[in-house]
């Protein structure tokens, strides 16, 4: 299981929106199969994995779990008969993935706005779900008026349909542009010098990320329900839904 998987969804927005792909089986370990390339997002960064199917020489197989980064493991039914070298066609469950993309991009937007609006409030945790997501902010003081200001700023950015862009940037130039804290680059090991940067608009949010994002904010739609509660001194948990989310 030493050979790696090319994670196709990282390459461009076109690839992030692709739903089918062809791949070769690199390794088989019981119910887990490693492919040479994949569109399946593996669980990580607070985002659940993609689900879907692989069609191989013996039929269609459900993918029930996806894990790993360098080698991406696709979990198949116990009676699968795939072996190394087989060619497969993968298809991801697009409704689930798109809901995660919208929720995850909403989290970037909320994190960027909160940092700017609440004196450098940092995002110290997040969990994405298709129906409901949350992020933890620290240090932050937020009353109801602040929550409404954040909601208004979020909905305004979505109404403006700001574009997202992706690119490779080195650590020093990222720090020079937005600083270590705002980009959360201080959370990434110093050995990592080149990273994939996701940017909303000019500078609404700029941070390294290997997740999946929508092309422009109009796709997200307005915030739905919001619940804010304290998670210890100076920390707030901001839970949200998105209006019009299909799941
Ligand atoms: Zn991201």
Asked if residue 71 is part of any domain, the answer here is: yes
> Cα–Cα distance between 150 and 6 in angstroms, integer?
37
Q: Report mean pLDDT in 10-residue bins for the chain, 247 residues.
A: 83 96 97 98 96 96 96 97 97 97 97 96 95 96 95 96 95 92 88 94 93 96 95 95 77
Instruction: Indicate whether 138 and 117 sit together in one domain.
Output: yes
Centre of ligand 1 to C-alpha 239, Å, is 17
> Cα–Cα distance between 142 and 76 in angstroms, integer?
45
Centre of ligand 1 to C-alpha 223, Å, is 18
Query: Computed over its alpha carbons, how large is the radius of gyration of the chain?
Result: 19
Asked if residue 133 is part of any domain, the answer here is: yes
Centre of ligand 1 to C-alpha 83, Å, is 34
Centre of ligand 1 to C-alpha 99, Å, is 14
Centre of ligand 1 to C-alpha 232, Å, is 26
Centre of ligand 1 to C-alpha 104, Å, is 6
> Cα–Cα distance between 118 and 183 in angstroms, integer?
15
Asked if residue 1 is part of any domain, the answer here is: no
Cβ-contact 24, 36 below 8 angstroms:
yes
Domain boundary among 62, 92, 122: 92
pLDDT at 247: 57
Domain boundary among 77, 92, 107: 92
Total tally of structural domains belonging to the chain = 2
Cβ-contact 191, 205 below 8 angstroms:
no
Instruction: Indicate whether 88 and 104 sit together in one domain.
Output: no
Centre of ligand 1 to C-alpha 77, Å, is 30
Centre of ligand 1 to C-alpha 41, Å, is 12
Centre of ligand 1 to C-alpha 105, Å, is 6
DSSP 49: P
User: How wide is the angle at C-alpha 182 spanned by C-alphas 134 and 241, nearest 5°?
Assistant: 20
Domain boundary among 44, 71, 92: 92
Strand partners, 6: 37
Of 220, 244, 165, nearest to 197 by C-alpha is 165
CATH for 195: 3.30.980.10
Cβ-contact 74, 50 below 8 angstroms:
no
Asked if residue 102 is part of any domain, the answer here is: yes
Q: What is the pLDDT of residues 23-64, one digit of tens each?
A: 999 999 999 999 999 999 999 999 999 999 999 998 999 999
How many H helices and E strands in the chain? Answer: 5, 16
Domain that holds residue 173: 97-242
At how many degrees (to 10) do helices 144-159 and 94-117 cross? 120
Asked if residue 247 is part of any domain, the answer here is: no
Centre of ligand 1 to C-alpha 197, Å, is 9
Centre of ligand 1 to C-alpha 211, Å, is 4
pLDDT at 1: 42
Percentages helix, strand, coil for the chain (3-state, rounded to 5) are: 25, 35, 40
């Amino acid at each position: 299981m030493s050979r790696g998987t090319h994670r196709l969804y990282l390459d461009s927005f076109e690839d992030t929106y692709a739903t089918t792909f062809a791949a070769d089986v690199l390794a088989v370990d019981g119910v887990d199969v490693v492919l040479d390339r994949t569109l399946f997002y593996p669980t990580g960064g607070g985002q659940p994995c993609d689900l879907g199917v692989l069609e191989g020489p013996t039929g269609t197989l459900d993918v029930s779990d996806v894990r790993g980064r360098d080698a991406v493991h696709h979990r198949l039914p116990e009676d699968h008969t795939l072996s190394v070298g087989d060619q497969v066609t993968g298809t991801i469950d697009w409704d689930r993935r798109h809901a995660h993309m919208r929720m995850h991009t909403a989290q970037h937007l909320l994190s960027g706005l909160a940092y700017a609006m609440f004196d450098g409030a940092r995002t110290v945790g997040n969990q994405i779900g298709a129906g409901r997501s949350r992020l933890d902010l620290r240090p932050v003081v937020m009353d109801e008026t602040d929550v409404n200001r954040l909601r208004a700023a979020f909905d305004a950015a979505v109404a403006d349909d700001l574009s997202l862009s992706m690119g490779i940037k080195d650590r020093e130039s990222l720090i020079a542009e937005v600083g270590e804290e705002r980009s959360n680059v201080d959370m990434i090991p110093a050995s990592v010098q080149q990273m994939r940067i996701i940017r909303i608009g000019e500078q609404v949010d700029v941070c390294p990320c290997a997740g999946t994002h929508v092309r422009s904010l109009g796709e997200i739609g307005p915030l739905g329900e919001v619940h804010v509660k304290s998670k210890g001194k100076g920390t707030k948990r901001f839970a949200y839904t998105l209006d019009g989310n299909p799941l």
